[in-house]
Structure 1
Amino acid sequence: MITGAGKGMGPAISQAFSSEGAKIVILGRDMTALETLKEEIGPKASVTVIRCDVTSASDCEAAVSQAETAHGRVDVLVNVAGGTGPVGDTAWETTPEGFDEIIKLNMGGCFLMMKAVLPGMIARRYGKIVNVGGTFGMHGRAGRMAYSASKWGLRGITKSTAIEVGPYNINVNIVAPGMVDGPRFRTKVMPGMAEAAGRSEEEIIAEHAAEYALRRISSAQDVANACLFLASDVSRQITGIDLPVDGGWAAL
């Protein structure tokens, strides 16, 4: 099961799992985006589309029930669904509504999906959960307080749950992307940061790349590869970790 599959990094992650032969269940609110993704993956693949608002407990429970009915079990959950929150706002400029909204989505959405899928995984004594966090949840960033708080909180949810479900042979980890080039990065994040800094988007992008050891911004495929690794049995002895996919930014 892959949440937030239709947008952002979701399509690349969905394509990556499908290319490995996985039967995938793609979730989201935008059914047009999900159906388009299903067509792009191709008719030979096993792709089930389910509408799901991850901030709704009933939606999450219904989605897991539908997936288990269709396929018998859910082996892997990848929580991609999330948002950026206020961009460029200081802590004192962030509204309570803006703060609550991103916490509910980035933390609450992962919690609700995990809560829905874990009983089945525990009963079968097998499961892989990969939460997509962010390096701003490992290293603070001015102008991104609310987003950073949501990703710091997701780390706590992930690590505590990993301890609880470890005895049931279930791995729970975080992939923490840095800046990821793509539509949302170009149309929402960069314009907001450029406006707040009073500089061009090209200058802001170049500044970010210069902060990374590898001097380049990550791609959605980089993130997808990390998700595949943590969802596979190659990583059977890894749980409760943050895996930065950021060209070395968090380590510097």
Structure 2
Amino acid sequence: MDLGLENKVVVITGPAKGMGAAITRAFGAEGCQLSLLGRDTQAIEPVAEEVRETGREAIVLPCDLTDAASCDAAVEATTKAFGRIDILVNVAGGSGPIGKTGAQTTPDEFDEIVTLNMNGCFHTIRAVAPIMMEQGAGKIVNVGGTFGMRGRAGRLAYSASKWGLRGITKSFALELGPHGINVNCVAPGMVDGERFRSKVVPEMARRLGISDEQAIERHAADYALKRITFDSDVANACLFLASDVSRQVTGLDLPVDGGWAML
């Protein structure tokens, strides 16, 4: 199926590694022109170069997502480079304190993750909205998480931030819908990758006295499909919601988790 994304201008936050890099490569493979935003531009450059080697344009712009003026400047630089913005994909985010109860979480820890995971998306959407409204079209995809759909003990700050992102998504969907702009949220569950293999799995194996392979099997057993999500699964969901194939879909929370959030 042709998703019709050829030459679309896509702004992606958090493109340097993990899901962000996979999503960046996926949009590049669809023939998009990319504006890649983040604080560490040197970390983003290798991914941008991969896209350029395929013949597609990719610019890298410094941006502190917690600073509204920085987001405004990055969006302005994107429009100067490409003339428009068709798609915004908000991937950047943090995990916050892990294994702490709400009572153990400090106010600073809570504020830090909420500021990054909620304010960052708010700033970028607020910056691109006038451009998309003038165009009469646009697609915005926020990457949330299933802990923002079911909650999670020991992850209060992160869970709260992702619940908040769902509210941001739905409110903007209502406000921007009359202007032909779709706003949706992809909610990944546990995703296979460096953090999963080097931190999550060894921690469970140590705590339960089992092997890493047994820990992976335990994680998979929690999901209806009995398998772990890949970066490519999340990237494909973002492509779907960024394309006109999903033209009648807005305000959606789309779990990409093998069936954990619905259990």
- Specify the TM-score bucket, using the shorter chain as the normaliser: over 0.9
Q: State the distance in 2 between where 1:194 and 1:97 align.
A: 30
Shift of 1:207: 2.1
Structure 2 counterpart of 1:7, from 17, 26, 30: 17
Identity of aligned residues (%): 62
Find the aligned partners of 1:192 and 1:92 in 2 and give their Cα distance: 22
Deviation for aligned residue 1:8 = 2.2
1:18 partnered with 2:28: yes
Gaps of 5+ in 1: none
In structure 2, relative to structure 1, the CA distance for the partners of 1:148 and 1:204 (3 Å cut) is farther
The answer on whether the counterparts of 1:135 and 1:176 sit within 8 Å (CA) in structure 2 is yes
Match of 1:40 in 2: 50
Taking the aligned partners of 2:208 and 2:226, their CA distance within structure 1 comes to 23
- The 2-side partners of 1:200 and 1:93 are apart by 28
Question: Partner of 1:128 in structure 2?
Answer: 139
Task: Return the letter of the residue paired with 1:175.
Answer: V
Q: Do the aligned partners of residues 194 and 109 (structure 1) sit closer, same or farther apart at CA in structure 2, a change above 3 Å counting? A: farther
Whole-angstrom CA distance in 1 between matches of 2:147 and 2:50: 32
- Give 1:32 deviation, angstroms: 1.8
Distance 1:32 1:125, change over 3 A: same
Are the aligned partners of 1:79 and 1:132 in contact in 2 as well (CA < 8 Å)?
A: yes
What pairs with 1:57-72 in structure 2 (closer than 5 Å)? 57-72=68-83
Partner of 1:227: 238
Task: Give CA-to-partner distance per residue, 1:59-111, whole Å, 9 cap, x none.
Answer: 10000000000000101000000011111111111111111110000111000
Residue of structure 2 equivalent to 1:28? 38
Three-state SS of the structure 2 residue aligned to 1:53 is coil
- Post-superposition offset of 1:200: 5.4
Write out per-residue CA displacement over residues 121-156 of structure 1, whole angstroms, 9 at most, x where no aligned residue.
111111100000000100111111111110000000
Deviations, residues 189-236 of structure 1 (Å, cap 9, x unaligned): 4556667x5555725433221010111110110000000000000000
- Quote the offset at 1:184 in angstroms: 2.6
How far is 1:27 from its partner?
A: 1.0
Q: How many residues align?
A: 251
Letter in 1 for 2:217: A
Which of 119, 123, 142 is the aligned partner of 1:112? 123
How far, CA to CA, are the matches of 2:210 and 2:103 in structure 1? 25
Q: 1:226 to 1:134 in 2, by over 3 A?
A: same
Where does the alignment leave 5 or more consecutive residues of structure 2 unmatched?
A: 1-10
Determine helix, strand or coil for the equivalent of 1:32.
helix
CA-atom RMSD in angstroms? 1.6
5 Å matches for 1:103-252? 103-190=114-201, 197=207, 199=209, 202=212, 203-252=214-263
Q: Does 1:84 align with 2:69?
A: no
Contact 1:88-1:192 at 8 Å conserved across structures: no
So what's the TM-score if we normalise by structure 1?
0.95
1:86 partner SS: coil
